[in-house]
Amino acid sequence: MKKLILVRHAKSDWPEETDDFDRPLADKGLEEAMNMSRFMKNNNISIDYLVSSPAVRALNTCKIFNQAYQLNIGTDEKLYNPSENNFHSVIYDLDDSHNSVAFFSHNNGISNFANSISNDIFHFPTCGVAGFEIDCNSWSEFDGAKKKLLFFYEPGKI
């Protein structure tokens, strides 16, 4: 069994003269990410590898989660402005030694991808987290594997 955890970046700011890629987290986003990462860690949600979009707001969300988890972080540009196929591509690049992986990415791509692998329909708020159990032993089996939603957490409801 593998676990895939999808995390939408926390609430961001958009200062004047700032490109989309370089948008920082807002104060509320910093708080959301700290609260969500602590909540997940305190509820024994295991993660053994983190992969983030390199965009500032996603990577900073990932780094805040890593304060709780203390893991290696990878970045993949395919998680910035992603299509569903981008997620599949990143999944197929994962090492099979990782059993529980968290992706930090953006809407609308992350919501579209989650809805494509689940019968549950949901829209990710900022710092929303969905966890899926993937019935496979290798990430290369992801496409044909049975997928089950384990949890969906929203920052305002934890």
Q: Which residues sit in the known binding site for substrate?
A: 57
Specify whether the CB–CB gap between 47 and 37 falls below 8 A.
no
**Residue 131, class by beta-carbon neighbours within 10 Å (0-12 exposed, 13-18 middle, 19+ buried)?**
buried
Q: Which 3 state secondary structure label does DSSP give 23?
A: coil
Q: What is the maximum span of the chain, computed from C-alpha positions, in angstroms? A: 47
What Rg do the C-alpha atoms of the chain give, in angstroms?
14
Residues annotated within a binding site = 57
